[in-house]
Amino acid sequence: MHTKPKDKYKGVYVVSNNNELLNRINNKYSSMSKGQKLLATYITDNYDKAAFLTAAKMGETVGVSESTVVRFATYLGYKGYPEFQNALEELVRNKLTSIQRMEVTYGRISQSEILQEVLRSDADKIKTTLDKIDHNAFEAAVNTILNAKRIYIVGIRSCAPLASFLGFYLNLMFDHVTLLTTNSSSELFEQMVRINEKDVIIGISFPRYSMRTLKALEFANNRNAKVITITDSVHSPMNLYSSCNLIADSDMASIVDSLVAPLSVINALIVALCMKKQKEVAGTLTMLEEIWDEYQVYDNDEINYIDDSIKMHYAKLKGND
């Protein structure tokens, strides 16, 4: 006898009964057709893989037609397969282990198509981010940063380069920018000990979400600081503490985190802030150009140094004549 889909799968982890997708499947299971029951069973037993299958691939895997898969999605109350797939992704978000991520990646990409597939996927992430990002939230983030007394930035593990990149450019525009770097949660709080309602913290995190980043945002929120998040979903736990959420797609089913779209959002944020502070940025860059030239920071300065030596040598020779 067929039983309803179970809540514990393969001993990996337990999914709460409160999950909307699982509730829909459980509630409608008894009235499903044979093909729909096959799909329901496959999805609840293999949701970590099902979330990343096209409708055609899922149909092929289960042994039903693509149209049956699409009808199954609408039968559950979703507008179409893309919305159903988004619900599946929410089910597994922040749950895939590194090994599971590797298995999914190997299942989606052949060795000969790695370059094309990865670049195509990154381009798609930027497009979907552009389609759904909240422009009002973006403007609010810009104004919040402009009006803050102090700016704190936190990004842990794979998000650390994004935080560092943002911190580098904000330091060119603002006086009080702190990039939080830490090996323990206590060090985070020590660096934020003076944060208050006049300040802002920008938190960056994507699945699997960093608990230390979440704790930093909670700490800032408890002290009434403004909180801006750069994350992947409105359902991200990062958004528990923020009033301004910048959503950027990332590929959570990959051996490495795809952070191309988040970097584009950060680029846009930097450009928008530069436009608002053109005079200050121009003055800082003019001063920096002089420093870079004096201390030969870039290659062209070293070339200029060689050129100057040649000129001096030439002048001496000319003087001897």
Same domain, 135 and 61: no
SS3 307: helix
Domain that residue 307 falls in: 286-320
Same domain, 160 and 268: yes
Ranking 90-94, 223-227, 286-290 by mean pLDDT, the lowest is 90-94
Mean model confidence pLDDT for the chain:
80
Same domain, 21 and 136: no
Same domain, 32 and 78: yes
| CATH number of domain containing 213 | 3.40.50.10490
Which comes out higher in pLDDT, residue 46 or 111? Answer: 46
Question: Cis ω on the peptide bond leading into residue 208 (within 30° of 0)?
Answer: yes
Which pLDDT belongs to residue 187? 81
Which pLDDT belongs to residue 77? 92
Q: Identify the bridge partners of residue 203 per DSSP, sorted by sequence position.
A: 154, 229
* C-alpha span between 59 and 55 (Å, rounded): 6
Please give the average per-residue pLDDT across 70-84, as a whole number. 91
Same domain, 17 and 137: no
Burial 234-243 (b: 16+ CB within 10 A, else e): eebbbbebbe
Which pLDDT belongs to residue 145? 97
Distance in angstroms between the alpha carbons of the first and the last residue of the chain: 108
Please give the average per-residue pLDDT across 302-320, as a whole number. 49
- Identity of residue 110: S
pTM of the model: 0.65
pLDDT tens digits, 137-196 = 999 999 999 999 999 999 988 899 999 999 999 998 999 999 998 766 678 888 999 999
* Assigned domain for 59 exists: yes
Please give the average per-residue pLDDT across 88-104, as a whole number. 59
Which pLDDT belongs to residue 188? 85
pLDDT tens digits, 266-301 = 999 999 999 998 888 888 888 888 887 877 777 664
Confidence of residue 104 (pLDDT cuts 50, 70, 90): low
Same domain, 74 and 177: no
Q: Residue 299 burial by CB count (10 A; 0-12/13-18/19+): exposed, middle or buried? A: exposed
SS3 183: coil
Decide if 184 contacts 234 (C-beta within 8 A).
Answer: no
Please give the average per-residue pLDDT across 28-42, as a whole number. 90
Same domain, 73 and 198: no
* Assigned domain for 102 exists: no
What's the domain count of the chain?
A: 3
Same domain, 170 and 255: yes
Which pLDDT belongs to residue 5? 42
Same domain, 174 and 264: yes
Same domain, 57 and 166: no
* C-alpha span between 214 and 154 (Å, rounded): 10
Which pLDDT belongs to residue 12? 30
* Assigned domain for 195 exists: yes
Asked if the model's pLDDT at residue 15 lies above 80, the reply is: no
Same domain, 133 and 269: yes
Same domain, 132 and 271: yes
* C-alpha span between 16 and 10 (Å, rounded): 15
Share of the chain above pLDDT 90, in %: 41
Which comes out higher in pLDDT, residue 113 or 177? Answer: 177
